[in-house]
Structure 1
Amino acid sequence: MKDEVQHINLKEKFRGYGYKYTEQRQQVMEVILQHWQLHLSSDDIYEFLREKGLNIAQSTVYRTLVMLERIQAIRKVDLSEGYTRYEICSHEDRVHHHLICSQCGSVIDLHSNLLEDLENEICSKHDFHVKNRCFKFYGKCKKCRGQLEDK
């Protein structure tokens, strides 16, 4: 049901921006929704679509990502890897940060008021207004730390 609601909202958003909500664009968004926790790159999305047996051009994936970002369905995530990943936007979603495993590359979304409180304190102290922020914490996830202990 949630996916149906998501697609109805996307159709409306696409129409609001003068775009058509085609089958290929729907398939791109479905891959993003199915693998939301992975913060996929455009190449990852393309490969998932190919694995599903869909004949879709990589340029179509790129253009769809640009449109999805423009209508604020997704946003770019820069994890300092030399390429862009994407994550789903939602109205309930506040700015969040990421925990990145330096061994397996997994990404965990971090929602914490502690960082917001710290930002407010710093801005107040320096009379500064933040327009954008991104904290990235690098380390090893529980799974990778467990693998080291097993050896």
Structure 2
Amino acid sequence: MGYKFYLDFSENSKYYPDYMTHLVGKQTESILTGFGYRTNIVPHTEESSLMVFVNQKYLARIIEGCNGMSVIILFIAFVVSFRDTFKRTFLFILAGSVLIYAVNLIRIVLLTVGLYNYPWRSEVMHEVIFPLAIYGMVFLLWMFWVRHFSIQTKSVNV
């Protein structure tokens, strides 16, 4: 509900389409430019997204679902439901959220480079490889949390 409120609030924001998607777009642009790709991220005029251009070629769009927030919220909900002490839970959520955000950003950058160099592989990259990478990493973080820190695991092992 909080995230939905954030999205509704963002409709009148100066950041298009919302702050987090805008931030991911700008960071993607900076990273790709740093790797030598002439990149422009511009607001889409017909839908709530950002268009990614590399060397003046339209490659992709970044929508709200690409910003990683829904994955981070899912990760946090799982960790909280198998909580440990407040401090450990908070620190794991913080570290995991930063890691998920960074991996998601890398995923977008690599996907853009892949679309530029291998456009015929776009479907397998976008639908299989990169979702598997991000959700696989979240799954591993969850398993690590449950096996090493959660209260439920400690009570079973005692």
Query: What is the TM-score normalised by the length of structure 2?
Result: 0.27
Instruction: Compare the two structures and name the one with the higher strand fraction.
Output: 1
